[in-house]
């Protein structure tokens, strides 16, 4: 494997992210525990998030709007201004969470820098992702930052067009089989899955991937022998 460009997903690949969302949802469930069960509330939030993706996209702001819509549904549009304020506070807290790098990330980037053109390819809020990259202290390793509206085959093709890179010369590394692996394999690229201990329900798939251009490792340092 000798790619010209190596792209890394950001959330839950470079740094921790999903546990913060889990924590926010727990807070929301406590606020509205008198209206529905814990599982029912989580299901409603997920349904609103998925339904809102075409309009809001991904990220904390979209998540906050989906929480507000969930609260409106739970309370039959009777939620108070104070209740809306509490939901907004959950969203604002998420936007100020510290950036905690996952183990061995700096070591891996140090060994790859200079040998390959390194890129961040992620979804979410543009401003928030740039903030996290800045706060992480690893921004200088990357040649290009791409905050994508989604990670479909077309989105990857557009990005590769801007980077003047053929799919067969591209390697994507990420924690989501649905977003970081399948679309890249489908356009002829290479993908490595580094699973995270928790995954957003929307990003899960229910089948095994078998492909010559696909590998999976539990530790990101395992990619280094492939890229010498």
Per-residue pLDDT tens digits for 64-99: 999 999 999 999 999 999 999 999 999 999 999 999
Per cent of the chain over pLDDT 90 is 92
Q: 209 with 28: CB under 8 angstroms?
A: no
Residue 140, class by beta-carbon neighbours within 10 Å (0-12 exposed, 13-18 middle, 19+ buried)?
exposed
- The domain segmentation of the chain, as residue ranges, is 5-15+100-227, 18-94
Sign of the alpha-carbon torsion through 127, 132, 137, 143: negative
| Residue 119 reports pLDDT greater than 90 | yes
- Mean pLDDT across 29-44: 97
Query: 18-94 has which fold?
Result: DNA polymerase; domain 1 (1.10.150)
pLDDT of 20 reads 96
Asked, colleague to colleague, whether 5-15+100-227 and 18-94 share their fold, the answer is no
Q: Are strands 214-216 and 5-8 parallel, antiparallel or unpaired?
A: unpaired
Q: Which position has the higher pLDDT, 197 or 109?
A: 109
Q: Residues 120, 8: contact at Cβ < 8 Å?
A: yes
Average pLDDT over residues 179-194: 98
Average pLDDT score over the chain: 96
Per-residue pLDDT at 200: 84
Please give the pLDDT value at position 199: 85
Of 67, 57, 73, 71, nearest in space to 92 by CA: 67
Provide the CATH topology of domain 5-15+100-227. Answer: Rossmann fold (3.40.50)
Segment 121-141, tens digit of pLDDT: 999 899 999 999 999 999 999
% of the chain exceeding 70 in pLDDT: 100
Q: For position 206, what pLDDT does the model report?
A: 83
Q: What is the mean pLDDT of residues 95-106?
A: 97
> Tokens 């706060």 map to which residue?
135
Compute the distance between CA of residue 78 and CA of residue 179 in angstroms, rounded to an integer.
37
**Local confidence band at 155 (pLDDT 50, 70, 90 cut-offs):** very high
Predicted TM-score of the model (pTM): 0.92
pLDDT digits (tens, 9 = 90+) for 15-28: 999 999 999 999 99
How many C-alpha atoms does 50 have within 13 Å on its Cβ side? 10
Q: Is residue 11 within 8 Å of 176, Cβ to Cβ?
A: no
Q: What is the pLDDT of residues 196-220, one digit of tens each?
A: 998 888 899 988 999 999 999 999 9
């Amino acid at each position: 494997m000798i790619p010209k460009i190596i792209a890394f997903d950001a959330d839950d690949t470079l740094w921790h992210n999903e546990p913060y969302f889990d924590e926010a949802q727990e807070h929301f469930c406590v606020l509205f525990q008198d209206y529905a069960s814990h599982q029912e509330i989580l299901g409603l939030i997920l349904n609103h998030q998925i339904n809102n993706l075409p309009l809001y996209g991904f990220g904390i702001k979209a998540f906050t709007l989906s929480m507000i819509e969930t609260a409106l549904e739970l309370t039959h549009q009777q939620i108070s201004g104070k209740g809306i304020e509490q939901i907004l506070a959950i969203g604002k807290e998420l936007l100020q969470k510290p950036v905690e790098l996952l183990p061995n990330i700096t070591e891996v980037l140090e060994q790859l820098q200079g040998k390959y053109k390194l890129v961040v390819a992620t979804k979410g809020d543009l401003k928030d992702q740039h903030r996290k990259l800045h706060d992480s202290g690893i921004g200088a390793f990357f040649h290009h930052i791409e905050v994508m509206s989604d990670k479909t085959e077309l989105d990857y093709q557009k990005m590769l067009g801007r980077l003047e890179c053929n799919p067969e010369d591209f390697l994507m590394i990420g924690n989501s089989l649905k977003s970081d692996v399948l679309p890249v394999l489908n356009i002829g690229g290479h993908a490595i899955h580094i699973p995270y201990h928790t995954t957003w329900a929307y990003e899960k798939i229910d089948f095994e991937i078998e492909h010559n251009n696909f590998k999976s490792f539990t530790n990101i340092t395992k990619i280094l022998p492939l890229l010498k």
